[in-house]
Amino acid sequence: EVQLVESGGGLVQPGGSLRLSCAASGFALNSYDMNWVRQAPGKGLEWVSYISSSGTMIYYGDSVKGRFTISRDSAKNSLYLQMNSLRAEDTAVYYCARGGSWNYGYWGQGALVTVSS
């Protein structure tokens, strides 16, 4: 059974850093494209970042480019999102999602990140 479980969310002050993890089971992470998607409270879905199955293609949304870094560890079968220089507007539930060309077929349960002083 495919499962994605996010962790690492929490409360952080503006300007701070946080690293989210997404532990995958039921499949090999390095065989699939992976993504981070976020949802601010009461708002819609916003695509954040993409990493290809090969790891050679990485993209970021304009709102996080230069501050966030996507990566993965094949040995741990985990996906990461390093978030630096956090702002209040980064407050959201962050989901990891598997998928590339056709849809995001599997999603984690989400991790809440709150940026506040």
Partner 1 sequence: DIQMTQSPSFLSASVGDRVTITCRASQGISDYLAWYQQKPGKAPEPLIYAASTLQSGVPSRFSGSGSGTEFTLTISSLQPEDSATYYCQQLNSYRATFGGGTKVEIK
Q: Which residues bind partner 1 (CB under 8 A)?
A: 33, 35, 37, 44-47, 50, 52, 57, 59, 61-62, 95, 99-105, 107-110
Q: How far is the CB of 47 from partner 1 (least distance, A)?
A: 5
Q: Which is nearer to partner 1, 16 or 59 (CB)?
A: 59
Q: Which is nearer to partner 1, 15 or 105 (CB)?
A: 105
Q: Which is nearer to partner 1, 101 or 117 (CB)?
A: 101
Q: How far is the CB of 117 from partner 1 (least distance, A)?
A: 26
Residue 61 CA to residue 5 CA, distance in Å, equals 22
CA 82 to chain centre: 9
Q: How far is the CB of 5 from partner 1 (least distance, A)?
A: 11
Residue 10 backbone zone (phi > 0: left; psi -120 to 50: alpha; other: beta):
left
Residue 69 CA to residue 26 CA, distance in Å, equals 25
Q: Which residues pair with 47 in a beta bridge?
A: 37
Q: How far is the CB of 109 from partner 1 (least distance, A)?
A: 6
Q: Which is nearer to partner 1, 65 or 76 (CB)?
A: 65
Sign of CA dihedral 100, 104, 107, 113: positive
